[in-house]
Chains A and B, each alone.
Chain A
């Protein structure tokens, strides 16, 4: 500690004695980021974290005016959008940042998948990441209902009906999610509680674990660059990589501000529990592939109801994705890349893009 004293002021020394700042400094000094042709993809984890921070900040601000009841929710958001100074900005950033966060998370997920970052000893990092993806989709789904508009109402009716098609546990799951047999004000209150308290509490724990494991194991070097000339090069995390991270975050903030200013979040029409679903109804883009699949599936396939088969199919794909560290035996066999994991990842990307494209381009009335 003494050798550092010329560099630091009195405040640092005072704090160091009490909090142990030099331990953090040592930790930061030790952290290295592998440098190779795929280093670019490392930025998306930090980007997701940054956008999550934006969500927490803007979410807290929205809480100050939002009222979670069927009679007041829509009106309170109308109030935020029209009366509260910069209310439109805060809500629009919250809405856009949510979308960008999911996008960054998907990029992070697929880059980790295609670079086989889940392999030993990072299985738990992968699993906790999978958990965070599920939690984020939960955030997206519950947050979507909170404006209590037409789209939100039907999206929630459909979304909570999906686990309802499962045999035996389905009806119970649906009731538990909806807080009753139908989507009503009780569902809104329940989703609010899940969105602002239950999910944040769980995310804090899982995110803590995920970040701890990233620190513990360091960033994964893809097998394809492990052996070659690039295999050893690295860059200090602090300040070199961190400053690059910051540049990325600053760009993201600029994009967010522009999106929020030019395309402010819409509110639509207030939910009416006795009106037909509006023509051209769509979910958020990240549920579009699933939505379109359910639209295309016929009523019965080999005697089984189409939607049940669809829901089971999504479950199976999710399970394979999460279980990838244990299914991918390529490394155990001494191969640098696993055809199974790569094939599965690419297939999933192609499938999601195709179905999402169809979802946005197919005529809503045919």
Chain B
């Protein structure tokens, strides 16, 4: 015991060093395992189509008044509507509430989300139910016999 007492300071220093060494090694090991693991779990960024314009395959005259249909705008769903006056309109079809895909209801002339009963008017404004924001509106141009939809701005 007496011997140990005298060499206490040295031992303590050595112990401290070993603890530090083991601690940092364990820490480094943990990081070298968890870092690649967590990076692996995060899905890689895939380039999304940022096309600001889309030409639809449907002809303007084939769209019935007071009806709506979903079309692809890049990787996202969008909705084309012909109102009762025959005017074509297009919006993002992703509900601003919880991302369901909306539809046109000819009985109330509104865009409607079946999931949580959200209503939008034909300017995309959220007029009833839980959606907190309006739908993004696109610009519709009819060129010759084609419908071309553009993002605004």
Contacts and interface: CB of A to CB of B under 8 A. Distances in A.
Interface of A: 154, 157-158, 161-162, 164-165, 175-176, 178-182, 186, 273-281, 291, 294-300, 305-307, 364-366
A281 B114 contact: yes
Given A158-B98, A295-B116, A306 B130 contact: yes
Interface stretch (B29-37, B71-79, B84-92, B135-143): B71-79
Contact of B42 (A164, A175, A298, A305): A175
Most chain A C-beta atoms within 10 Å of own C-beta, residue among B72, B79, B117: B117
Interface in B103-126: 103, 105, 112-117, 126
Nearest to B68: A276
Given A274-B70, A276-B114, A297 B99 contact: no
Interface of B: 41-43, 46, 48, 70-72, 75-77, 79, 93, 97-103, 105, 112-117, 126, 129-132
Contacts of A182: 75-76
A274 B43 contact: no
Contacts of A291: 116
Most chain B C-beta atoms within 10 Å of own C-beta, residue among A280, A295, A297, A298: A295
B77 A274 contact: yes
What DSSP secondary structure best describes chain B's contact surface? loop
Nearest to A184: B75
19 contacts: A158-B115, A158-B116, A161-B98, A164-B99, A175-B43, A182-B76, A274-B70, A276-B114, A277-B100, A277-B103, A277-B113, A278-B114, A281-B114, A291-B116, A295-B116, A295-B117, A296-B130, A299-B97, A305-B132
Contacts of A186: 43
A158 B94 CA distance: 11
B35 to A, nearest CB: 16
B43 A299 contact: no
A281 B115 contact: yes
Contacts of B102: 276-277
B99 A157 contact: yes
Contacts of B46: 180
Nearest to A180: B43
Contacts of B41: 176
B15 to A, nearest CB: 34
A299 B100 contact: no
Contacts of A297: 130
A164 B97 CA distance: 11
Nearest to B93: A276
A288 B41 CA distance: 30
B71 A299 contact: no
B43 A162 contact: no
Top 10 A-B residue pairs of the complex, sorted by shortest distance between their CB atoms: A276-B103, A277-B114, A295-B116, A161-B99, A277-B100, A161-B98, A305-B132, A299-B132, A158-B98, A179-B43
B72 A274 contact: yes
Given A175-B43, A276-B101, A154 B115 contact: yes
Nearest to A311: B98
A294 B116 CA distance: 7
Given A274-B101, A275-B70, 10 more contacts: A179-B43, A274-B71, A275-B101, A276-B79, A276-B103, A277-B113, A298-B130, A299-B129, A299-B131, A365-B117
B42 A176 contact: yes
Contacts of A176: 41-43
Nearest to A306: B130
A280 B130 contact: no
